[in-house]
Structure 1
Amino acid sequence: MADAAAAATPEWATKEPCLMGIDEAGRGPVLGPMVYGCMYCARSYNDTLATLKFTDSKTLKEEQREELFESLKVNSSIGWEVDVICPKDLSAKMLKRSKVNLNEISHNSAMGLVRKVLDMGVLLAEVYIDTVGDPEKYQIKLTEKFPGIKFVVAKKADSLYPVVSGASIVAKVTRDRALRNWVFNETALNMHMKTGSGYPGGDPHCMGFYQTVII
């Protein structure tokens, strides 16, 4: 499993108004967890953040994502957290009698990260988030849950706001690292099967896994 969480709350985060980005990785693959990640910084650091080459993680190669993740981990002006939702939990919620759909699971994870960061003492003033469902309704839901915080919910927010791009990298690298060390309950699968990214499209290893094990 990848790093489960960032270090203790930075001192600046408890003294200066902060902004935070939230994004996810692993929504709808055939293998692995869904990971929500957030990255936060002082509002005064936003202009500098824009120079750090964070961008939508899907547009980067794996080694580029890893390098950027390692750089943000040691950057004392940045904080981050993750919420890793395992496949068993996703299935249990979506298949139980009183079903919880994937949108609601996603919303709850994002709100959980906001709550976690607030409980850490971070002076959260603004949150930017890649939408799940209707952006306007999602924004209203978040604002009602956390009055006093400015929420901006947008499609492709990971391409629009560097703080969301950073969160996208946090989520994607955390998920990728989890998949590299994935352990199946079935011993035979652990020995020989290459699973790839968890997305069959364009990934021959994942397609081979999907055709052999799932279909």
Structure 2
Amino acid sequence: MEEDAAPAAVSSSSGTFTPPSVSDHRDALLSGATFSHFSPIPPSLLPTDPSDPSSAPPCVLGVDEAGRGPVLGPMVYGIFFLPADISDPLLRDTHHFDDSKVLSAAVRSQLMETLCTPGSDLHESCGWATTALSARDIGANMMRPVQYNLNAQAMDATMDLIRAVYAKGVNIKEIYVDTIGPPASYQAKLQRVFPTAKVTVAKKADSLYACVSAASVCAKVTRDAALEKLFHARQVATAAANGEEAPVEEGTMEWGSGYPSDSKTSTWLRNNMHPFFGWGPECRFSWSTAKDMLEAKGNGVKVEWPADEDGETSRLTDFFASGGEEKQGSELASWFGTPASQEAF
């Protein structure tokens, strides 16, 4: 699912900003689907001559992710792009973007709200997009017979986002990516896919390049808001199952950060595991944390699946009657009269 959407200023009950990358895709999020969101492209970034893409100002684009390791919630890839000549002055000097991990939740929320507010300098000069790879899809892909691993899913999400920005007419000349593996091989692959741009893949890119810092903020705020919505939906479903009144607003997330190392997360998983179905679409079933809990003795219901029947073992002669059946007469042959023996010929 992919959608361009006008920004919408929404706040959760905790007072943090809910970006349109979550508020505009509530149904997809709660159903466990993977989805993408693209901000409107500022007119200043589009070509002055529609027939000449190079007439658009040269832009830099940064890529970063949030939520690679958690057992709960989506992994979100974010991209951020703006004219190369204003990147550091606008992002670093004016708004003090940095790696999202070193910024407080309140600062990240405020930066994202400014970015989504029409008339602000960020909104008028910059574009951004996110892809939320759902926990359900991450787990299902990793458990395929031919595994579609997390690095491959991340690479595809990155390339799809960048391709979409090119398709919208933005003149991307430099791409900066926070690495998900060995930087050299990742950079070489992206350079082959996007030969007209200079590609730089580096460790700690979210602290080295301003556009990557901004992408990390978009990804982190989107993931945090998505976690809030997923937790509230889980509360509502649990209350309904127990015949209780559903909570009206999001409260403190009892499942913590969603990381396996978080004691709140592991406690919540143990206390909210269905013995047959496990958990909802908020959980990555391919993670060892979830698999171990389901497979532990006394926790889940053990299911043994029968081996698939091999449909290639039948012989051509299996479709013909045996000698004993011939003596009793063939029903098909008798439709056309009394069967004749071979001696008749």
Quick check: 1:113 aligned with 2:172? no
**2:70 matched to which residue of 1?**
29
**Offset at residue 30 of structure 1 (A):** 1.2
Preserved CA contact (<8 Å) 1:158 1:165: yes
Give the letter for the 1:175 counterpart.
Answer: R
Q: Deviations over 1:130-180 (max 9, x none)?
A: 001110000000011111111110001001111101000000000000010
**1:55 matched to which residue of 2?**
98
Alignment of 1:97-136 (within 5 A): 97-136=145-184
Alignment of 1:1-215 (within 5 A): 2-4=19-21, 5-14=37-46, 15-48=56-89, 49-51=91-93, 52-74=95-117, 75=122, 76-182=124-230, 183-184=233-234, 187-188=237-238, 194-201=254-261, 203=262, 205-213=264-272, 214=290, 215=293
Preserved CA contact (<8 Å) 2:64 2:177: yes
Higher relative helix content: 1
- Name the CA distance, whole Å, in 2 between partners of 1:210 and 1:161: 37
Give the letter for the 1:16 counterpart.
Answer: P
- Name the CA distance, whole Å, in 1 between partners of 2:19 and 2:150: 23
Preserved CA contact (<8 Å) 1:6 1:73: no
- Name the CA distance, whole Å, in 2 between partners of 1:194 and 1:138: 37
| Relative contact order, higher structure (CA 8 A, sep 6+) | 1
What TM-score results when the alignment is normalised by the length of structure 2? 0.58
**Offset at residue 185 of structure 1 (A):** 10
Give the letter for the 2:223 counterpart.
Answer: R
What TM-score results when the alignment is normalised by the length of structure 1? 0.91
After alignment, is 189-198 or 33-42 more displaced?
A: 189-198
**Offset at residue 28 of structure 1 (A):** 1.6
Q: Deviations over 1:63-94 (max 9, x none)?
A: 11101111222321111000011111111111
Preserved CA contact (<8 Å) 2:19 2:116: no
- Name the CA distance, whole Å, in 1 between partners of 2:239 and 2:260: 17
**Offset at residue 3 of structure 1 (A):** 1.6
- Name the CA distance, whole Å, in 1 between partners of 2:235 and 2:147: 25
Gap regions ≥5 residues in structure 1? none
**Offset at residue 211 of structure 1 (A):** 4.0
Give the letter for the 2:45 counterpart.
Answer: A
Which contiguous aligned blocks of 4+ residues in structure 1 show a shift greater than 4 angstroms? Answer: 189-193
Q: Deviations over 1:161-203 (max 9, x none)?
A: 11101000000000000010103499328869722221243x5
Preserved CA contact (<8 Å) 1:131 1:138: yes
Give the letter for the 1:3 counterpart.
Answer: P
- Name the CA distance, whole Å, in 2 between partners of 1:131 and 1:118: 21
Preserved CA contact (<8 Å) 1:25 1:34: yes
Give the letter for the 2:224 counterpart.
Answer: D
CA RMSD of aligned residues (A): 2.2
- Name the CA distance, whole Å, in 2 between partners of 1:153 and 1:10: 26
Q: Name the count of aligned residue pairs.
A: 214
Give the letter for the 1:145 counterpart.
Answer: V
- Which structure has the bigger radius of gyration? 2
